[in-house]
Amino acid sequence: MRARRDGDAWAYGDVDLDEARERYEVTLLDTATPVLSVLVEAPSYTLTASVLSAVFPAGLDTARLQVAQVSDSFGPGQAADAALLPAD
């Protein structure tokens, strides 16, 4: 469930974003240092192998991914954070 204002944890289904548009800030980090940040207008983003190898030439051992919903009124919300692992 996502909501900026007046979100009710007991509401059924997805809550309206209460924003004029849907945007997310996707940030790649090398340990804690941001190395790439992209603003996207959809709840998905594809990282190509060429981008990953350019940003992380030594591999993904220290790679992290953060995604934050962006509000026109409040800016980025709290980001979700995860380790970025190579595909098998």
pLDDT tens digits along 17-56: 577 888 999 999 999 999 999 999 998 999 898 999 999 9
Give per-residue pLDDT as tens, 47-75.
Answer: 898 999 999 999 899 999 999 999 988 89
Do residues 4 and 17 lie in contact, with contact meaning Cβ atoms separated by under 8 Å?
Answer: yes
**Could you tell me which of 6, 45, 46, 48 has the C-alpha nearest to residue 22?**
45
Output the CA torsion sign for 50, 32, 74, 7.
positive
Task: Kindly tell me the burial class for residue 71, based on how many C-beta atoms sit within 10 Å of its own C-beta (0-12, 13-18, 19 or more).
Answer: middle
pTM over 0.85: no
